[in-house]
Amino acid sequence: MENSEKRLTYTVEEAADVLGISRNLAYELIRQGRLPAIRISQKRLVVPKAALAKLLLPENQAPAGEVCQ
């Protein structure tokens, strides 16, 4: 098993990449409470893989043609 498979969290940059959004947008979504994150220290935020997976489940997605706000 690779080290990355053992990790339980993503960096904000990795989470942004998974979501296909910019790093700045990921930080904005965290600030808004729309992207779950854990503050590890004063300067370190991580996004739990389980929370990100749950966020991406189909029931959390808008119906076709509808824009999420």
Q: What is the pLDDT of residues 17-35, one digit of tens each?
A: 999 999 999 999 999 999 9
Q: CA triplet 34, 36, 38: central angle to 5 degrees?
A: 140
Output 12 or 63, whichever has higher pLDDT.
12
> Across all residues in the chain, what is the average pLDDT?
86
- Specify the pLDDT at position 1: 46
Contact 54, 60 (CB under 8 A): yes
Q: Which domains, ranges and CATH numbers included, belong to the chain? A: 3-57 (1.10.10)
> Cα separation of 60 and 69, whole Å?
12
